[in-house]
């Protein structure tokens, strides 16, 4: 991309935006065919700018741009779909997905299947938020921080897609010895090795304990069982933390702080 004078149109989203000079924005764009890159949106903060209300996270866009450097220049941005509002846990989860992409993907590195997984996840979170505000005929489903999270299946599916796209081999069907996972057995999922049969009660810093049933459920995208859903969350948290090399996620820290406030109320 850095050698190209212009490109697009491409489908994309704004992952992050911040002010640049008096009237412009610097954007981190996440596009279907060109991956993640920075672009300046000149004049986007002017009161009468056509881009003023659309260069925001979670708005599906069609974008074109030009430029040869690391920071491109946005040429045209148009909505490519509705931008229904995200609320509560759905909104926080969407920001979490954005932060993962910003920290774990490389600039100008296309990931078309991961882009599709992100687009699907944002659509699912938008549907959750829509149900939470009482659309006629739908049951309110937005949970409080202490309630079972209806957003978690969305997060687990995206995290798994992200890890696999980054080249992290998430083995869910066979243990480290090559045998098929037994749903009735207990395993330690060890970093860089995968599932290892848990022969004793020893804990390891580079592993989480879970059941073979959890591995099967995660592989099949099943999250109805509260126990296996909780174990899948713990596993994904360990693997994501490993990929981040210990970096703290701002969204995770914010959720933790909100939980403390709720517990103190």
At 131 the pLDDT is 75
Instruction: Report the predicted TM-score, pTM, of the whole model to 2 decimal places.
Output: 0.87
At 97 the pLDDT is 96
State the pLDDT confidence band at 147, using cuts at 50, 70 and 90: very low
Structure tokens at 109: 């590195």
Q: Does residue 134 surpass a pLDDT of 80?
A: no
The CATH homologous superfamily of the domain defined by 6-79 = Nucleic acid-binding proteins (2.40.50.140)
Residue span(s) of the chain under CATH 1.20.1440.120 come to 88-264
Residues forming beta bridges with residue 64, ordered by sequence position:
76
Contact 233, 218 (CB under 8 A): no
What lies within 8 Å, CB to CB, of 220 at 6+ separation is none
Contact 129, 92 (CB under 8 A): no
7 or 61: which carries more pLDDT confidence? 61
Closest-CA residue to 153 (of 79, 229, 77):
229
State the pLDDT confidence band at 263, using cuts at 50, 70 and 90: low
Structure tokens at 65: 């741009």
Closest-CA residue to 167 (of 107, 113, 229):
113
Q: How many residues comprise the chain?
A: 265
Please state, as a whole number, how many other Cβ atoms lie within 10 Å of the Cβ of residue 14: 22
Structure tokens at 31: 């596009």
Percent of the chain with pLDDT over 90: 66
CATH class of the domain whose range is 88-264? mainly alpha
**Mean pLDDT value of segment 16-36:** 96
Residue span(s) of the chain under CATH 2.40.50.140 come to 6-79
At 188 the pLDDT is 95
């Amino acid at each position: 991309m850095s050698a190209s004078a212009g490109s697009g149109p491409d489908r994309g989203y704004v992952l992050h935006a911040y002010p640049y000079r008096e009237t412009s924005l610097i954007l981190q764009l996440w596009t279907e065919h060109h991956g993640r890159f920075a672009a300046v949106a000149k004049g986007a903060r002017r009161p009468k700018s056509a881009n003023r209300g659309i260069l925001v996270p979670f708005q599906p866009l069609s974008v074109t741009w030009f430029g040869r450097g690391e920071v491109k220049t946005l040429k045209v941005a148009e909505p490519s779909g509705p931008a229904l509002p995200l609320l509560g846990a759905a909104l926080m989860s969407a920001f979490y997905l954005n932060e993962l992409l910003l920290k774990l993907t490389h600039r100008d590195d296309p990931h078309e299947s991961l882009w599709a997984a992100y687009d699907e996840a944002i659509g699912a979170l938008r549907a959750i938020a829509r149900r939470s505000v009482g659309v006629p005929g739908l049951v309110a489903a937005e949970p409080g921080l202490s309630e079972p999270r209806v957003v978690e299946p969305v997060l687990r599916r995206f995290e798994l897609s992200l890890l696999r796209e980054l080249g992290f081999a998430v083995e869910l069907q066979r243990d480290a010895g090559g045998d098929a996972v037994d749903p009735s057995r207990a395993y330690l999922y060890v970093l860089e090795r995968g599932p290892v049969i848990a022969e004793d009660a020893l804990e390891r810093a580079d592993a989480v304990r879970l059941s073979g049933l959890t591995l099967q459920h995660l592989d099949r995208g099943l999250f109805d069982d509260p126990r296996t859903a909780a174990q899948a969350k713990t596993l994904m948290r360990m693997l994501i933390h490993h990929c981040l090399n210990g970096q703290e996620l701002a969204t995770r820290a914010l959720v933790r702080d909100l939980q403390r406030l709720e517990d103190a109320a």
